Structure 1
Amino acid sequence: MDEESADKHELFLTLFTANEAAIRAFVRRLVPTRQDTADVMQGITLVLWRKFDQLDDRDGFRKWAFRVARYESLGWLRDKGRDRHVLSEDLLHLVAEEATRDESWLAAQRDALDQCLEKLPQPNRQLVLAAYAPEAEIQQVAQRSGRTVGAFYQWLHRIRLQLVECTRRTLGTEGLS
């Protein structure tokens, strides 16, 4: 791989990984299951990579990626249209438009929550993240915290209330509430 190709690859990976969670969340709102989301995301990633040279404004990667994700998701749903569990195309377009509008608000909420999590003392932050990790077992996390499962759930509830209030304050100071 020559240096120009390596730079292009590195830039793509940097932009894609910075936006992948948001793109995945967007697709998840459009397709029926998590497995469907994984399947659609594979196609989206390939299209983004193949068409990356066509992106003029690197700062517009996220918007461009969402547009690609929308078309790929709708195409996937159209192809699955024979399945009686798939929504009508008009309704899918409506959901896609709403998901696109909601994305900036959801991104602001995620950023605010990240800021609030950073404000927690390190041991508390680690326990909260452990409780919400994929495949987390609350009994083990509670034991690690030195609490019973019931006491851990109560503690976690209080921390969540603090995070909700902090997130609201953060969004309020940014004029987004």
Structure 2
Amino acid sequence: MQLPNTRVGFRSVIRNLCKAIEAFQTRMSEPTTTSDDYETFLRLFTRDQFRILSYIRSIVVQPHAVDDVYQETCLELWRSFSTFQRDGEFVAWALGVTRNQILKHWRTRDRDRLVFSDALLHEITATALEMGGEMSDRQEAMNECVKKLAIRQRELIHLFYGKKQSAAIIAEHWNRSVHAIYKALKVMRRTLFECVESKLGNETA
């Protein structure tokens, strides 16, 4: 079987994490919108998108709900960007907007809600801000470690995490057992974990 370009495949994984950008790009027709505003927003958002997504995942449990909240948050960040003080810290402002979107999601879909007090939400937000540097370092280390994987392993990342194909579908395409696919995923995750921890450990040594 001919494998697709893995560089393109890995980029598609990243694109899936910020797919909501395409949604709010179509809503930029307001007269007050300027290209400078959009470029500034996109630069700041691209820099901090993983922290925003990680913050949502730390609070929202259901995967489909994470996707919904993330997309709505992306839209609201753009809609509210005119209120952002340009000399302020974007990620702090963005996490505040994200928190409000999570609360809004809970109000409209109460069945998905877990009990989080306002104090706990504030604490989680503060922790997310404090961990910003660590998360950025971890993401950079992860990117470097992924590049070291074998082509087949990177293709597995592309299919399982990027295209969200099930282990059964991948097993069928690769003529492997489902158990073998899960084992390969387990080995790959452990390899990445050890690589990332090693890189972060060397940086702090």
Pair in the same fold by TM > 0.5: yes
Q: Aligned-pair distance for 1:54?
A: 4.1
Moved over 6 A (4+): 77-80
Alignment of 1:38 onto 2:102? no
Equivalence map 1:25-174=2 (5 Å):
25-31=54-60, 33=62, 34-35=64-65, 38-39=68-69, 42=72, 45-52=75-82, 54-57=84-87, 60-70=89-99, 72-73=100-101, 76=104, 85-133=114-162, 135-174=164-203
Deviation, 1:118, is 1.0
Contact 2:167–2:178 under 8 Å retained in 1: yes
Deviation readout 1:1-24 (Å, 9 max, x if unpaired) = 89x812322332233244334213
Larger-Rg structure:
1
TM-score, with length taken from structure 1: 0.71
C-alpha displacement at 1:39, in angstroms?
4.3
Q: TM-score under structure 2 normalisation? A: 0.63
Count of matched residue positions in the alignment of Structure 1 and Structure 2: 172
State the distance in 1 between where 2:190 and 2:40 align.
38
Alpha-carbon contact 2:159-2:165 (below 8 Å) kept: yes
- Asked if the contact 1:116–1:166 (Cα under 8 Å) also holds between the matched residues in 2, the reply is yes
1:7 corresponds to which residue?
A: 36
Distance 1:5 1:171, change over 3 A: same
**Structure 1: tracts of 5 or more residues without a match:** none
Query: Unaligned stretches of 5+ in structure 2?
Result: 1-28
Identity %: 25
Matched residues in 2 for 1:156 and 1:75: separation? 34
Contact 1:30 1:96 in 2 (8 A): no
Asked if 1 retains the 8 angstrom alpha-carbon contact of 2:53 and 2:70, the reply is no
Residues 1:153 and 1:54: Cα distance change in structure 2 (over 3 Å):
closer
The structure showing larger relative contact order (alpha-carbon pairs under 8 Å, at least 6 residues apart) is: 2
- Letter of the structure 2 residue corresponding to residue 87 of structure 1: F
Query: Is the partner of 1:55 in helix, strand or coil?
Result: coil
The range that moved more, 143-152 or 48-57, is: 48-57
